[in-house]
Structures are given as structure tokens and as C-alpha cells.
């Protein structure tokens, strides 16, 4: 079956048919590196990771670009306050971003261009827009005249006339000299003492939107396949990217626009500006497992539905992860019995693979795909209780689990979590002593050891798969 994705422009499912056969080119809007990204941002980045991983399975070649917005009003303000240049100001946040990607087992993009390294490309596009007659100048800044681009508003599904400045999106606060409230800055004039670049457009710095047009086209070509972001990027950011890119090149910019719904907390969008955000670091420090965060943000709901962050939803995600990981361990630690495949089990495994792939091909329906996997786990857990799998069935099952986790990406995280953070030798001895006490049914001693571990901030739980611990 062909892979289909929901396209924001046509508002329906469209087959992924790369412009260059066999090679998908994808651009995903990256973080603005003025602070640590919060897990709302990671809902979008993880949706993009799932998409990337599925494209990797479905196409011979994928080129994935994610930008880093390292020049922007907030960054400039912070840099001034800290007495830093831009590079020094953004370096720790860029490092933190890559740490978080690692913690969440995100597959690396092929390129992470930084806006500050593409100023020449941005200037070149603005010059082409000048030549096309869709710009005007005011007080040294260059603006895009939206009235000159009749298709404006197609992505957001609003007519150009109906647009109000700022409706639903992020608008630059310092755009006051515009002919029309809907117009946006391509280049913002900067005074000699301000952070800026001396270019043919005069001294200044780029507007936010032009960055993504320049970096995506420089690395992927003037027309490419997929462009993603969170729904709040649709307007004005992506709408403006289309207007700039298509007016400059005269070619269609992007084939398929994909947007993920927001992560919410207590009914509101998680956002820096609302102060209701949590970073991955905050959560991990309180004992939340990255595998559970990854599962919650990718598999608890379809990417076009909002996800709610709460103790309950996190708990449910943790349980799903453990059910999968325990089954995976159980299977891998089992010695299969020699023999041909078991027809019924083989059939179940084959059916699960078909269902998993069909759900993923159908607009990346990971929750449904995981539903098929959990149905299989329930059935095979029953089988495993009575007899080990045969060698052939066992191999097929392991292959399927590998394929599932190639997309889901949580099993490797669970292994990492179970291995660490490393325990002190003393803590390790206490845990082992407790395990030994349970093996000899010495419940009194086991409880005393549990209390002693709790006193050291280690919470122990007993599960079917044995004793499990985490730091609180």
C-alpha cells in the first residue's frame, strides 16, 4: 500500500510521491534556541521523528533538514543582557537541544543549518523578490507586499482579505511601518550598534520567515516534498514561507504540508509564554522516564489530535512501554524449542505486521499500529505461558519487534533506563539482597530492605517481570 499523509493545503490525505523518484526531501522547522525546548515542542519534533523513521522504512533515500533559529528578537535581547555575541548566547541552548534529542532517541536529521550561517542566501532571495516587485522599503526595513501574491492564505485556509494581522500566529512586534497590516518583514533594519549584518540590503537582520525559505531551498532545492511543523506554524510562518519562496522562484515550493496538533496541559496549549511548560530535564529529574515521554507524545494519540499531559496520561504511557518492554525481554530471553513454525502464531505475527504497516501508511496512525501489536502481545503471552516458541516463530517475532521499535524507538530507551542511572555499589547490594529475600519468600526482610532503599530515594516495585526501581 502506498503511504499517505494529511496535507494541510488540500485538507485531505495525499500519497507521498517524491519529486525525485525514491528520494524524499523533508524540512522540519527547528527550535528557536533562546531557552531549553519544552516537551510541547518535543511533541512536534517527535511526530517528525516518527515520520522520518517511517519514510526511512518506505523509501530508499530520505534527506531530512531541521533548522536552528539562532537569531531572533528574544535571542538578541538575552545576548545584550548577558553581554554575549549570538554564538555564545545560543551555544548552551543548542547543546541542550541535542542532549534532549539523544535522551528521547530521536534520529538525527542530515543537516541542522543555523540561520546565522545562511544570511547570504536570505539576502539573495530578498533580491529576487525585489526584482519580482513584491517588496517595499520603509525606514531601512524590507517588507513583503501580500497583496502581490494572490495565493496568499491558501495554506491557512483564509482569504487574504479576511486576514487580520496576528490572527492565530506569531507576529513580529516591531513591524510598524507597513503599508498593510498583513505585510511582514523580510529584513529588519539595524542601527550600527545593534546586532546585524552589513549587506546589499543595508545593515540589518533577517525576519523569521525568510530563514526557513532560505535554508530549506539551499539544502533541498527550490521544490521539495514535505514540510512540517506544529499547527501554530501554519499561520503566519508557513504561509509566509510559501509566499516568499514561490514569488522568488516561480515554482511550487512544497508538495505536502504536515502539521501536528499541540501538547496541552490542564486544557491549555503548553507554551513558554503561558508559563505552563515542563522541559525534559525537569521531568527526568523527578523520575519520569524518557521512554514514557516518548510514548506519550507519539503513540498515545494520533499526531493530528491534541495530547494532554497529566499524571494519568503519563502513567498510562509508562504502562504501555513496560508491557511492550517486558514482552520483548521475555521473548528474547527465551530459549526457543527446535522445530518448524507454529502456523497459528506465525499467522498472527504476519497479520500484525500487515496491520501495523497499514496503520502507519494511513497518515502515520501509530496508536492504531500499536493497538495491533498489543493484541499480539496478549495472545502470545498466553501461548508463552504454556510452551516456548519454536525457533522459526521466535525469529519471526523478534524481527517484528525490531521493526516496530525501529519506528517507535522506545525499547532502546528502556534498556538504557534499566541499566542506569548507575547505582552505587551499596545500593546495588541492597537491591540484590532484596531480590534474594524475595526468592526465599522472606517477606519481612524484603520489606525492611524496601524501606531502607526508600530512605535512599530509591523506589522499588514488584512486577511480574521482577523487581524494578527508580529514583524519586
Interface ranges with ligand AMP (CB under 6 A): 29, 31-32, 40-41, 43-44, 229-230, 232-233, 262-263, 269-271
The residue nearest ligand AMP at its CB is: 230
CA angle centred on 152, ends 146 and 153, rounded to 5°: 125
Binding partner selected for residue 212 from Zn ion, ligand AMP, none, CB under the kind-specific 5 to 8 Å limit: Zn ion
Query: What would the DSSP string read from start to end of 417-438?
Result: HHH-SPPPHHHHHHHHHHHHHH
Contact (Cβ atoms closer than 8 angstroms) between residue 149 and residue 211: no
Strands (E), 232-285: 254-260, 263-265, 268-269
Element containing residue 445 per DSSP (H, E): helix 443-455
Tell me the closest approach of the beta carbon of residue 26 to Zn ion, in angstroms.
Answer: 13
Binding partner selected for residue 263 from ligand AMP, Zn ion, none, CB under the kind-specific 5 to 8 Å limit: ligand AMP
Tell me the closest approach of the beta carbon of residue 260 to Zn ion, in angstroms.
Answer: 14
Binding partner selected for residue 190 from ligand AMP, Zn ion, none, CB under the kind-specific 5 to 8 Å limit: none
Residues in contact with 147: Cβ distance below 8 Å, sequence separation at least 6, in sequence order: 160, 180
Quote the cell numbers at residue 167. 490572527
Q: Which is nearer to ligand AMP, 112 or 136 (CB)?
A: 112
Binding partner selected for residue 43 from ligand AMP, Zn ion, none, CB under the kind-specific 5 to 8 Å limit: ligand AMP
Binding partner selected for residue 178 from Zn ion, ligand AMP, none, CB under the kind-specific 5 to 8 Å limit: none
Q: What CA–CA distance (Å, rounded) separates 351 from 332?
A: 21
Q: Which is nearer to ligand AMP, 148 or 271 (CB)?
A: 271
Tell me the closest approach of the beta carbon of residue 43 to ligand AMP, in angstroms.
Answer: 4
CA angle centred on 356, ends 3 and 264, rounded to 5°: 85
Q: Which is nearer to ligand AMP, 44 or 446 (CB)?
A: 44
Tell me the closest approach of the beta carbon of residue 238 to Zn ion, in angstroms.
Answer: 7
Contact (Cβ atoms closer than 8 angstroms) between residue 186 and residue 126: yes
Binding partner selected for residue 269 from ligand AMP, Zn ion, none, CB under the kind-specific 5 to 8 Å limit: ligand AMP
Binding partner selected for residue 44 from ligand AMP, Zn ion, none, CB under the kind-specific 5 to 8 Å limit: ligand AMP
Please write down the HEC assignment for all residues of 344-393: HHHHHHHHHHHHHHHHHHECCCHHHHHHHHHHHHHHHHHHHHHCCCEHHH
Tell me the closest approach of the beta carbon of residue 302 to ligand AMP, in angstroms.
Answer: 14
Residues that bind Zn ion (CB under 5 A): 29, 212
Q: Which is nearer to ligand AMP, 113 or 230 (CB)?
A: 230
Q: Which is nearer to ligand AMP, 270 or 293 (CB)?
A: 270
Amino acid at each position: 500500500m502506498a503511504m499517505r499523509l494529511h496535507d494541510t493545503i488540500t485538507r485531505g490525505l495525499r500519497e507521498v510521491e517524491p519529486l525525485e523518484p525514491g528520494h524524499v526531501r523533508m524540512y522540519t522547522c527547528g527550535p528557536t534556541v533562546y531557552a531549553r525546548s519544552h516537551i510541547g515542542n518535543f511533541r512536534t519534533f517527535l511526530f517528525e521523528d516518527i515520520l522520518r523513521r517511517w519514510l526511512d522504512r518506505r523509501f530508499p533515500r530520505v534527506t531530512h533538514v531541521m533548522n536552528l533559529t539562532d537569531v531572533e528578537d528574544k535571542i538578541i535581547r538575552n545576548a545584550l543582557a548577558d553581554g554575549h555575541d549570538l554564538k555564545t548566547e545560543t551555544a548552551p541552548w543548542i547543546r541542550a537541544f541535542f542532549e534532549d534529542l539523544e535522551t528521547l532517541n530521536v534520529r538525527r536529521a542530515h543537516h541542522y543549518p543555523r540561520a546565522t550561517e545562511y544570511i547570504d542566501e536570505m539576502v539573495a532571495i530578498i533580491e529576487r523578490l525585489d526584482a519580482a516587485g513584491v517588496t517595499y522599503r520603509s525606514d531601512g526595513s524590507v517588507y513583503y507586499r501580500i497583496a502581490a501574491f494572490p495565493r496568499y492564505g491558501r495554506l491557512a485556509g483564509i482569504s487574504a482579505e479576511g486576514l487580520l494581522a496576528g490572527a492565530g500566529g506569531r507576529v513580529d512586534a516591531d513591524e510598524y511601518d507597513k503599508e498593510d497590516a498583513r505585510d511582514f518583514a523580510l529584513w529588519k533594519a539595524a542601527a550600527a550598534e545593534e546586532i546585524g549584518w552589513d549587506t546589499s540590503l543595508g545593515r540589518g537582520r533577517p525576519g523569521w520567515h525568510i530563514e526557513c525559505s532560505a535554508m530549506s531551498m539551499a539544502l533541498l532545492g527550490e521544490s521539495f516534498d514535505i514540510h512540517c511543523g506544529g499547527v501554530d506554524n501554519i499561520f503566519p510562518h508557513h504561509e509566509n514561507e510559501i509566499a516568499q519562496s514561490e514569488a522568488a522562484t516561480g515554482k511550487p515550493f512544497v508538495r505536502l504540508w504536515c502539521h501536528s496538533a499541540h501538547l496541552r496541559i490542564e486544557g491549555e496549549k503548553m507554551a513558554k509564554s503561558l508559563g505552563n511548560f515542563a522541559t525534559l530535564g525537569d521531568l527526568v529529574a523527578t523520575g519520569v522516564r524518557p521512554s514514557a515521554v516518548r510514548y506519550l507524545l507519539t503513540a498515545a494519540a494520533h499526531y493530528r489530535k491534541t495530547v494532554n499531559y497529566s499524571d494519568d496520561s503519563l502513567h498510562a504511557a509508562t504502562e504501555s512501554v513496560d508491557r511492550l518492554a517486558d514482552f520483548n525481554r521475555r521473548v528474547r530471553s527465551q530459549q526457543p524449542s527446535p522445530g518448524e513454525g507454529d502456523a497459528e502464531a506465525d499467522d498472527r505475527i504476519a497479520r500484525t505486521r500487515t496491520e501495523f504497516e497499514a496503520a502507519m501508511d494511513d497518515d502515520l496512525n501509530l496508536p492504531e499500529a500499536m493497538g495491533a501489536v498489543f493484541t499480539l502481545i496478549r495472545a502470545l503471552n498466553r501461548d508463552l505461558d504454556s510452551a516456548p516458541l519454536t525457533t522459526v516463530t521466535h525469529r519471526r517475532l523478534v524481527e517484528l519487534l525490531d521493526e516496530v521499535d525501529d519506528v517507535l524507538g522506545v525499547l532502546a530507551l528502556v534498556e538504557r533506563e534499566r541499566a542506569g542511572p548507575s547505582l552505587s555499589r551499596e545500593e546495588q547490594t541492597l537491591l540484590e539482597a532484596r531480590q534474594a529475600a524475595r526468592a526465599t519468600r522472606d517477606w519481612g526482610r524484603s520489606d525492611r530492605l524496601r524501606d531502607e532503599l526508600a530512605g535512599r530515594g530509591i523506589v522499588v516495585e514488584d512486577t511480574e517481570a521482577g523487581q524494578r526501581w527508580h529514583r524519586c
